[in-house]
A and B are shown apart, each in its own frame.
Chain A
Amino acid sequence: MTGASQPVFRRASVLRCLGVLAACTAVLPVRAADWLPVGPDDLRMNSEPKAPAAPAIYLYRQVDRDDNVPDETYYARIKILTDEGRKYGDVEIPFEKNNESIRDIEARTIRPDGSIATFDGTIYEKPILQTRGVKLLAKAFTLPDVQVGSIIEYRYRHRLARGFVFNSHWILSEDLFTRYAKFSLDPYRSFALRFSWPAGLPEGTEPPKTAHGAIRLETHDVPAFVTEEFMPPVDELKQRVDFIYVAGTTVEKDPADFWKKFGKQCYGLARDFTDRPRYVAQTVAQLVAPGDSAELKARKIYARVQQLRNTSYERPKTEQELERDEQKVVKNVEQLWAQGSGDHLQITWTFLALARAAGIEADPVLVAPRNLHFFNPGMMNPADLSAVIVVVKLDGQELYLDPGTPFAPFGMLPWNKTRVAGLRLDKGGGSWVTTPLPAAAQSRIVRKADLHLTANGTLAGKVTVTYTGLEALTRRLEERGEDDTERKQFLEYELQSDVPTGIDVVLTNTPDWSSSEPTLTAVYDLTVPGWAAAAGQRQLLAVGLFGGGEKHTFEHAARIHPLYFSFPYESEDDVTIGLPAGWLVNSVPQPQSVAGSTLRYDMAAEKRNGALHVKRELAFNLSYVEVKYYRPLRDFFRAVRTADEEQVVVAPGRIQAPH
């Protein structure tokens, strides 16, 4: 269990808590000489069938927290199963020295023969981070005689900062398999507490129960948490119970009521910020013409607002720099406009005000970006709705806009705000909407190559790559704040990654990095040494020149977690290869096509005017894939790789062509 590093509330006087203390004694965990008994089976065991190959497993964990004292006691018993598992004999317990302490550390090693080596060594205080007002340390110690087959156990009491109440968690999915664990929390009585388990509970685990004021949970056979490529955010998968204190003594039970109240509150804040009607009207009059269509007005306002200095996307500054910057606290749209800068939220509110003043129907929408976790309104956590966008109605069609994100094209949201729930604010509190996910065709990479082959198998020529939609936006955002040299290297590296062999590449144009246009174009001089492989006097050219991105996708046969991708996309390669004088295309492979409802691959090679022409298209229309679909997904990419390796045979004209 971990406490948040920032207190949520200052506690009421300590005296008020004293009455609670007596009740807490009933939940004190095992202490003193009463280590739990060790069963002979645990001593003998050398593997756990439910966690094969595990280096170690938790035989038992117990966490008991009392927010009234406040403290937390921890008990862990670990079975060492492999050499690698011996590292769990080294223990570090972090704490904040100025406000917390770690006490009553006890530890021991139980050898496979049942004999005990009690820890009597040094407990070190290891600085993790020290600076003005902050002193994060760790109590560090190592257990004696930790061998494969040993059981190690340790326990301690973590005295938390007095005078504050912290949100906390029970982490159920740890890095090691857990055979059995018990948790309890005695909440601080003067505040209401909401608790939830957003990633679910381990199979067979009963939800937490409240009895005599304390919340308890027991769990068994919790698999070790592992990480994989393309997995959803960790918070979506790591099973835990979250405890969140809320102001007051009662908890809102009904999410609908909760969000209604929250929506009203936020609507009021937005109104306060935008409520400068005369000033906004004057400003918008300078931006749009009376005869402009609604869409043109919206586009003009959007473009102008995006020119404001967006402080959310600047490099982090030191306090001294911020002081010199003389940025005033902006309270309304008028102040923001006068200052010419604001953060992403303020810029979005400003667009809202101007759009409305231009007669456009527009509403603010609070959304939960999905890069960190997926929003669940049932959790009733206002912090999840951390971003704001605007929905406008143009010619009867609703369009979602994000003026607070630099380079976001008109009508396109950054990927982490696509297909997410949003609270569309109104006087009554608002209503839930879901933002659209752009189709694959809206985010494309188009590579057009005009190359020639030399007799020694080298390809050389010009390549133009055009990124569209989210492919362009993500690159612009990633490279913001960089200079031309870095951006050139970035794009050259991109092309190097696309080609599955070493290349020489030089960017020859100056891409437009600073606009919100939907495309970003890069032009290169490309040389691919030895792309053609020798086959006696013939040469073989693989058709997948730009298949580098798919070359090593999903190599591993096994999969534990679902797969998660930022956004659907398409790529299209149009490659023309001229041959050395006197050479001919001897044979081309059959066209290849792998099509499904969400994935598509097409490749066709042909002789055209004495040259070789290859067209390759890939469409990836997925964002979330359940584990059961991993195999078909992997099979698709295996088929893509096989097709990319199809060979074109070229040879000097005197060599007999295959027939």
Chain B
Amino acid sequence: MPAPWFVRSMCSLLTVCNLIGGSVALAADAPSWMHAQVAAPLPAHDEKTTAVLLYSERVLTILPDKQIRRLTRKAFRILRPDGAGRGVVRVDLDGQTRVIGLRAWCIPTAGKDYAVNEKDALESSVIGVENGELMSDIRTRLLRIPATVPGSIVGYEVEEEQKPYVMADEWEFQDTVPVREARYTLQLPSGWAYKTTWLNHAEQAPTATGNNQWQWVVSDVAAARVEQNMPPWRGVTGRMIVALSPPDGQEPGIQSWRQMGEWYLNLTRGRRDASPEIKQKVVALTSSAPTLLAKVQALASFVQNDIRYVAIELGLGGYQPHPAAEVFAHRFGDCKDKVTLLSTMLKEIGVDSYYVIVNTERGSITATTPPNLAFNHAILAIALPGGLEDPTLLARESHPKLGRILFFDPTDSLTPFGRLAGPLQASYGMLVTADGGELVELPHLPAASNAVNRTAALTLDEQGTLRGDVHEVRLGDEAAAERYALRFATQETDQIKPVEAVAAAAFGTFLILKASTVNARLPEQPFEWKYTVEVEGYAKLAGNLLLVRPRVLGSKSSGLLETPEPRQYAIEFEGPESDTDVFEIALPPGYEVDELPPPVSVDDGFASYRSKSELVGRTLRYTRSFAIQDLSVPVSKAEELKQFYRIINDDERNSAVLRRVSP
């Protein structure tokens, strides 16, 4: 009906998205490879499965000039309304990749097939510069398939041409839904060779399907379930990496980490030349520093704090840093730009340093991963000159050729010089030296380097109200996290929110009477909170008994493994950790301890927990320690970890019983 309220103010993005899904009706039927799936049996699945991948296929062909053509086909059967997401085809592109064909179809349960093509697609890039990503040539193309409802079979076909930096392909055949059949076909020109590496799946032998053509097939691949604290997706899902070698006599391309390092070194050639302005700045920053360590720290601090993080990554710029002089002049750059500038400045004081290319998700790259570009970050390895010893330099390793090297992340302004954030610890990165590249394991810092040490001196009155002072000292990532939270507190009244969150998890009701921080803007120092809390009704009266929980604040327990389904993957911790609590509660007059919770002591190797409640004079004293030693707990020990957390949970909820002995 012609509504009179026709004046609409704004056409939302959502509306636009819906519009792009609209397409001119095409009289094209779905292709035969999709129709072949209509009668296909479904792979094993449970009632929560939203869709199944009936068929997937990739055909890789080598073109002249070392280009590759990649044809990808997938067909899903939608089982539940939540499977509608499979009706949106997503193709990610970069400057090296060109889509030469994009088509999609739906075979509905009744009626004619639907067809859409790339003219119906929407393309977007990363929007917003919240994370400093100002410009990149990474694009996402989205194509919506009609009638993606339970019962429908939806599928698509994407053909891309790519000029890769590394002559390799990665076939990911596992999905979050069960896969019935996945095929990979490799078509090589004469003289080319290949080598396959299988990750997270038993190796499959290929079948020769033609002249220089091979095919691999996997069937009935179980769904990979997304779990909390799981290893990175790349580290757990089935995939095959195919390395390609041209015939003898042709440039072989990247076949090893050494060669990949050489490639990267070439990209950075000339980028670490110091301009006169850089030289001048180095002098200004270091002339008053009394020691070599102080000079290095001054330069590191400058790059970490005064060079703003801004990423402009176009084409090869995703890998190649900007020249140091440019980064210095503009005072901005991304991670590799910062590394480049710091390396340049260090060279000016005679300190050598090297690029280390890493992935911020530990486990994405392992000691056995073949050469590939699955990196997303750059840090620096600084060669420590002889005699440069300092207990604060924790993130160091010995290298057979370079001697002692210190790993440093100039992008992470919250982790001070000498340390490394938890997610990077024990991760693998490519160290780039004059000899090329090599895979190295980054240091695993002692658990004590990341800690929350909390003490509280409190008084309990006869009505059960608890009052007193709490002092928290935070180190490592625990300190960085707090500083990060305060960085985003843009209202004065929000500054207290971290303390309120800790208190709210511990008490039903509370008042923070005062709170202050120490060293909030000094990352090289421990971060401290000092606050005074009042908790009405903390201890519960039950007749002549007063029930009081000795564990006052903070929880080390976790419901991570309290899930209906058994755990599928290892449990990853962000970093090592070693926390302590000492809570002292002065008892109200007229009360004596009737019963105390029993002490707890658990050491499972990967983690330990100890607690004790005792009466010291008129004070109920609770002490505990909690430590995470291993950064990864294998799934075979998930049940042990679950019990470990349950023991902690019980301990945290235990109460001491006080009995009134005088009126």
Q: Which A residues lie at the B interface, using CB under 8 A? A: 4-6, 8, 52-55, 82-84, 86-87, 89-90, 92, 121-122, 124, 126-132, 134, 138, 140-142, 144-147, 167, 224, 226, 244, 262, 265-266, 269, 273, 315-324, 330-331, 345-346, 349, 381-386, 481-483, 485-486, 489, 502, 504, 529-530, 533-538, 540, 551-552, 555-558, 560, 586-587, 589, 638-639, 641-642, 644-647, 649, 657-659
Contact = CB atoms under 8 A, between A and B. Distances in A.
Contact of A657 (B500, B543, B594): B543
Interface in B101-136: 111-112, 114, 116, 119-125, 127-130, 132, 134-135
A658 B545 contact: yes
Interface string B652-663: 011111000000
A269 B4 CA distance: 8
Given A55-B490, A126-B125, A533-B653, A555 B10 contact: no
24 contacts: A4-B11, A5-B11, A6-B10, A84-B487, A84-B490, A92-B129, A124-B312, A127-B124, A144-B330, A146-B308, A226-B490, A226-B491, A381-B7, A483-B150, A485-B48, A486-B80, A537-B595, A538-B657, A560-B491, A587-B542, A638-B509, A641-B509, A649-B542, A649-B547
B532 interface: no
A26 B543 CA distance: 83
Interface of B: 1-11, 13, 16, 18-25, 47-48, 80-82, 84, 111-112, 114, 116, 119-125, 127-130, 132, 134-135, 139, 144, 146-147, 149-150, 305-306, 308, 310, 312, 329-332, 413, 487-497, 500-501, 504, 508-509, 512, 536-537, 540, 542-545, 547, 549, 559, 562, 564, 594-597, 646, 649-650, 653-657
B91 to A, nearest CB: 14
Contact of B496 (A87, A557, A641): A557
B650 A319 contact: no
B487 A126 contact: no
B490 A482 contact: no
Given A138-B127, A638-B508, A485 B330 contact: no
A293 to B, nearest CB: 32
A291 B462 CA distance: 72
Contacts of B25: 319-320, 323-324
A128 B124 contact: yes
A142 B5 contact: no
Nearest to B131: A87
B501 A555 contact: yes
A454 to B, nearest CB: 14
B490 A53 contact: yes
**Which residue, of A140, A319, A323, has the highest number of chain B Cβ atoms within 10 A?**
A319
B121 A318 contact: no
Nearest to B654: A534
**Which residue, of B119, B147, B509, has the highest number of chain A Cβ atoms within 10 A?**
B509
Contacts of B649: 530
B657 A536 contact: yes
Contact of A131 (B16, B135, B146): B16
Q: Top 9 nearest A-B pairs by Cβ distance? A: A536-B595, A319-B22, A658-B543, A641-B508, A558-B493, A638-B509, A533-B653, A52-B492, A535-B655
B650 A530 contact: yes
A36 B363 CA distance: 53
A10 to B, nearest CB: 14
Given A483-B80, A557-B500, A535 B657 contact: yes
Given A319-B22, A645-B508, A345 B1 contact: yes
B150 A589 contact: no
A269 B1 contact: yes
Contacts of B120: 131-132
A552 B4 contact: no
A587 B543 contact: yes
B9 A147 contact: no
B329 A147 contact: no
Contacts of B537: 642, 645
Contacts of B305: 83
Nearest to A349: B1
Given A124-B135, A540-B540, A556-B500, A321 B146 contact: yes
A385 B7 CA distance: 11
B80 A383 contact: no
A150 B268 CA distance: 31
B147 A90 contact: no
A108 to B, nearest CB: 13
A481 B116 CA distance: 25
A320 B152 CA distance: 15
Contacts of A53: 489-492, 494-495
A319 B22 CA distance: 4
A579 to B, nearest CB: 16
B123 A130 contact: yes
Given A87-B130, A556-B497, A644-B508, A318 B23 contact: yes
A127 B139 contact: yes
Given A262-B4, A557-B493, 19 more contacts: A53-B489, A127-B124, A128-B124, A129-B123, A130-B124, A146-B332, A167-B9, A316-B21, A318-B114, A321-B114, A349-B1, A481-B81, A482-B81, A529-B562, A530-B653, A558-B493, A639-B509, A642-B508, A647-B547
B597 to A, nearest CB: 7
Given A127-B123, A131-B123, A533-B654, A504 B508 contact: no
A318 B146 contact: yes
Contacts of B119: 132
B330 A659 contact: no
Contact of A87 (B132, B139, B653, B655): B132
A121 B10 contact: no
Contacts of A127: 123-125, 139
Contacts of A146: 308, 331-332
A551 B150 CA distance: 39
Given A130-B123, A483-B150, A142 B654 contact: no
B192 to A, nearest CB: 36
Contacts of B512: 557
A383 B500 contact: no
Nearest to A555: B504
Contacts of A638: 508-509
Nearest to B488: A84
A245 to B, nearest CB: 9
A319 B81 contact: no
Given A55-B490, A129-B123, A645-B508, A382 B655 contact: no
Given A129-B13, A504-B564, A537-B595, A645 B540 contact: yes
Contacts of A657: 543
Contacts of B111: 324
Contacts of B132: 87, 90
A322 B655 CA distance: 64
Contacts of B646: 529-530
A385 B3 CA distance: 11
